[in-house]
Amino acid sequence: GQQVMQIPQYQHVQEGEDFTTYCNSSTTLSNIQWYKQRPGGHPVFLIQLVKSGEVKKQKRLTFQFGETKKNSSLHVTATQTTDVGTYFCAGLGSGAGSYQLTFGKGTKLSVIP
Amino acid sequence: ETGVTQTPRHLVMGMTNKKSLKCEQHLGHNAMYWYKQSAKKPLELMFVYSLEERVENNSVPSRFSPECPNSSHLFLHLHTLQPEDSALYLCASSQQRAYTDTQYFGPGTRLTVL
Residue pLDDT, tens place only, A7-59: 999 999 999 999 999 999 999 998 999 999 999 899 999 999 999 999 999 99
Residue B50 host element (H or E): strand B44-50
What does the pLDDT read at residue B100? 63
Q: Is the pLDDT of residue B97 over 90?
A: no
Name the amino acid, one letter, at A106.
Answer: G
Q: What pLDDT does A102 receive?
A: 86
State the pLDDT at residue B45. 87
Verify whether the Cβ–Cβ distance B106 to A104 is below 8 Å: no
The candidate with the shortest Cα–Cα distance to B23, out of B103, B81, B86, B84, is B103
Residue in B69, B102, B113, B107 with CA at minimum distance from that of residue B91: B107
Position A95 scores a pLDDT of: 60
Percent above pLDDT 70 for chain A: 95
pLDDT attached to residue A60: 97
Q: What angle do CA A101, B25, B86 make, to 5 degrees?
A: 65
Reference A102, options A7, A23, A39; nearest CA is A23
Q: Do A41 and B56 touch (CB under 8 A)?
A: no
Question: What's the rounded mean pLDDT across residues B85-98?
Answer: 88
Residue A83 DSSP SS3: helix
Contact assignment for B42 to A99 by CB distance below 8 Å? no
Where does the pLDDT of residue A98 fall: very low under 50, low under 70, confident under 90, or very high at 90 and above? Answer: very low
Q: Which residues of chain B neighbour A42 with C-beta distances below 8 Å?
A: 2, 90, 105-108
User: Using an 8 Å Cβ cutoff, are B90 and B37 in contact?
Assistant: yes
> How far off is chain B from A105, nearest CA to CA, in Å?
4
Residue B96 CA to residue B8 CA, distance in Å, equals 27
| Per-residue pLDDT reduced to its tens digit, B3-61 | 999 999 999 999 888 999 999 999 999 999 999 999 877 788 899 898 777 776 667 99
User: Dihedral through CA A30, CA A101, CA B96, CA A75, nearest 10?
Assistant: -70
A41–B104 CB contact, under 8 Å: no
Give backbone dihedrals phi and psi of B83, rounded to 5 degrees, phi first. -55, -35
Rounded to the nearest angstrom, the minimum Cα separation between A91 and chain B is 10
